[in-house]
Structure 1
Amino acid sequence: MPERSAASSYDVGAQRFQRSVPKIGAEPDLAGPWSMVNQSNSKRKAVSEMFILPEHMRPTVTHNDYTDLEIPVIDVSALFDPPQHDEKVMEGLVAQVRDACLHWGFFQIVNHGIPEELLERFHGQGKQFFALPFAEKMKVARQQGQYTGYGHATVKKGDVRPWSEGFYFANDGSTAEFAKKLWPEDTNDDFLNSYSEYNEKVQGLSECLMRIIVDGLDVDPAYFETFSKHAGGLLRWNFYPACPEPQKTLGLKPHTDFNLLTVLHQGDVGGLQIEKDGKWIPVRPRPGALAVNIGDTLQVLTNGKYKSVPHQAVVNATQSRISSAYFYEALPSTVIVPHPDLVDENNPLQYEPFTGEAYRVYKQTQFLNTLEHFVRKKPDAE
């Protein structure tokens, strides 16, 4: 296959488009976190109307209604001990990941190189944070226009609130500032150390997974380095309190992720569900396993070959749940354009070019099916 430079690939992609990147309006006014509106009625036996979804949007499958239809579970130990594995083992791993990306958009991985002790330690720090009084958590509230801090997934004022809270981290120094506001200096080292260790491990894992995913496309992998070379991550704790009426609300409404790929530690309580063939499939928690899913950015880079699958979080009446999601993403200023070798007469270009920054702003106005805004319109018939 002839080599392509990143610059020539962008030139080729740009020439195919007749319209500029869609203009995005100002960020919407976001609603406050779960505790802000629920702290006074968290022990009631009924859910506030602020959290009640219309009947057609309510969950239809409970958090632990598992079936034989489950997302693939893949052993990725070959990534971390290559001398012990021959070429056929690596080819088999690439094939398994490719099949999961093509048919599921989701898979779980085991033997991924992140110690279970670290997973539990970071998980425990989350428990400590969400157990803090509401006023303490608000010291690190996520501010308008910022990605880090205490809050929840994108919800505009006036929308039904999710039965959840969140805490967003970025590797930009803000986490250390949060720690100073939350805990005494002699105790916040545990928080910072567990975050730093986990962030480093999960970013390295994401880089390895990205290479395996790209290998399965059978195209020149150099093109994807434009997007992964300077990729970073946004880490989020999700907290889903026990809910007196779980059948009326959701911890997180159906959505797709904006990024290249997401690595999720979902804990030992069920709640994650993915959409498969029009049905919601609960993802069974597995000790030490991590869930991985394709994001919208990677769907666009593959010109729709790999799909970013809708998923949601349901809640239950007896157990709270904490999960940790790592969003591996390209730089916000990077223009997202499909790989030229994945565009031809049989697979025409599907999306207008856009930056990650523009996409994330628009996602705050349309949480599900965000990519529909960037679908390339067919040229007028001549």
Structure 2
Amino acid sequence: MMSHNIGSRDDDDDDVGADPSPVPSSLHLQHPADQSELATPWSLQSLAVHADDSPLRIPSHVPEQFLLPEHLRPTVKHDDYLIYNAHEEIPVIDMAACNLDGDVVDVTAMETVVAQVRDACLNWGFFEIINHGVEEELLSRVLRQATRFFTLPYLDKMKVVKPPGKYSGYGHATVKEGDVRPWSEGFYFTDETTTAEFAQTLWPEDNNDFVDSYSQYTEKMKHLSGRLMQIIVAGLGVNVAHFEQYTANTGGLLRWNYYPACPEPLKTFGLTAHTDFNLLTVVHLGEVGGLQIEKDGKWIAVRPHPGALAVNIGDTLQVLTNARYKSVPHRAVVNTTKSRISLVYFWVPLTSINIVPSPDLVTEDNPCKYKPFNFDAMTKMKQMYFLNTLDHFLLEE
């Protein structure tokens, strides 16, 4: 199974880093036996004080550490799917004409898929796919394991907290110390070894399905990402060799996100606006809305479709295409009544070579836009600039 060298980094921080806020010994958290899910984000629990041993409960307002300035607060609710015209519906592409093995069932239908993906990349940087070859049973299994984890008591989850500078473990996404905290929590995975260690720590007597579902899911996501990349490059009409040097023998990162219900959802974010650093991101959205993308200066709520997976372009692919395809800004919002879990797979480029545009996409009319940079430079810049990261690698005109 894939083991990616990204998992061994020892930097001071990274763009999906944890800010664990260790629990002082004077704090005592209790969870009622009938509590079926977390009441609040993990970082709020780490600040809670219960001198009378009463259980942690949902707050009546958004505490200060989660409160956004008014000009940054979301104005589009999690389920406002109809704020844009029907002809602007986010593309949903049927992948039945191909499968994970790359076999073409119908040449004409395959050409249609390539064209649809090309249009989605050009106009949205984002699309959903159905009939993608990832079994519903596997999606359900992984979702059950994520739910199993996030419903653990807070102190149990802290046993696998993500150390500073590491990619694997429990925490929440934050750019740097001092940022407004997201109304969410996450669990990050890089390889089978650390996943097995997590499972052994959390469930020493019953952890097989946790590891097996992770392994099967990431293997499927890896193959699906590679197949999607082939389709994307086919739509560009360029030499595939430039792209293959970044995708051969590479892997990915998996993150589970949990967004609890929130008493004042328009005063905070589940995850602030950002672009992804990688090639492609494939997301199982679940059934509850919350993901939003930016198009033409407007925020659009993504409607989850049963069995569909969402795909968005990352910063690396934007550079490889010389900005022909752009990394889409996106964010997560929360709501007052329903929690949400998403399963996010980040397909990461080979990290040992510089990221540069395809020569076929550099012309007199469209000169090279980016100076060469490596993956380490990208991730360090992402620490400081969660959004518009690539602006800092632009060539001077």
Common fold by TM > 0.5: yes
Amino acid at match of 2:182: P
1:308–1:178 CA distance, 2 compared to 1 (3 A): same
| SS at structure 2 position matched to 1:275 | strand
- Where in structure 2 are there 5+ consecutive unaligned residues? 1-10, 22-40, 49-55
- Indicate the RMSD between aligned Cα atoms, in angstroms: 1.7
Distance of 1:369 and 1:340 partners within structure 2: 24
SS in 2 for 1:77: coil
Q: 2:208 corresponds to which letter in structure 1?
A: D
User: What is the aligned partner in structure 2 of residue 336 from structure 1?
Assistant: 355
What's the TM-score once normalised by structure 2's chain length? 0.86
1:242 to 252, 261, 265: 261
Q: Decide whether the 8 Å contact of 2:262 with 2:335 is kept in 1.
A: yes
Cα deviations by residue, 1:31-90 (Å, 9 ceiling, x for unpaired) = 337413335365111111000000111011000011233210000111128767332111
Is 1:154 aligned with 2:164? no
- Partners of 1:334 and 1:131 in 2: CA distance: 41
Task: Identify the residue that residue 38 of structure 2 maps to in structure 1.
Answer: none
Q: TM-score, structure 1 length as denominator?
A: 0.89
Q: Pick from 219, 223, 233: which aligns with 1:200?
A: 219
**Residue 270 of structure 1: CA displacement?**
0.2
Matches within 5 A, 1:35-184: 35-38=42-45, 40=48, 42-67=57-82, 68=86, 69-80=88-99, 85-171=105-191, 173-184=193-204
| Inter-partner Cα distance in structure 2 for 1:375 and 1:84 | 38
Change (3 A) 1:32 1:111: same
Q: Distance in 1 between matches of 2:97 and 2:18?
A: 43
What corresponds to 1:276 in structure 2? 295
Secondary structure of 1:259's counterpart equals: coil
> Is the Cα–Cα contact under 8 Å of residues 152 and 166 in structure 1 kept in the other structure?
yes
Aligned sequence identity (%)? 60
Q: Judge conservation of contact 2:74–2:333 (CA < 8 Å) in 1.
A: yes
**8 A Cα contact 1:260 1:295, kept in partner:** yes
**Deviation at residue 27 of structure 1 after TM alignment:** 3.9
Question: 1:137 corresponds to which letter in structure 2?
Answer: K
Q: Which residue of 2 aligns with 1:22?
A: none
Single out whichever of 40-49 and 337-346 deviates more from structure 2.
40-49
CA contact (8 A) 2:175 2:385 kept: no
**Cα distance, 1:366 vs. partner?**
1.1
Name the amino acid aligned to 2:168.
Answer: T
Partner AA of 2:114 in structure 1: V
Task: Determine the structure 2 residue equivalent to 1:320.
Answer: 339
Runs of 5+ consecutive residues of structure 1 not aligned to the other structure = 1-24
CA separation of 1:269 and 1:367: change in aligned 2, threshold 3 A: same
> 366-375 or 316-325: which moved more?
366-375
- In structure 2, what is the Cα distance between the partners aligned to 1:257 and 1:205? 18
Equivalent in the alignment of 2:364: 345
Using the alignment, how far apart are the partners of 1:298 and 1:197 within structure 2?
25
Matched residue type, 1:37 = L
Equivalenced residues, count: 353
Deviations along 1:218-276, one digit per CA (max 9) or x if unpaired, are 11111111001022100000000000110100000000000000000010000000001
Task: Give the letter aligned to residue 86 of structure 1.
Answer: D
Determine the C-alpha separation between the residues in 1 that align with 2:212 and 2:13.
33
Q: Which amino acid aligns with 1:51?
A: F
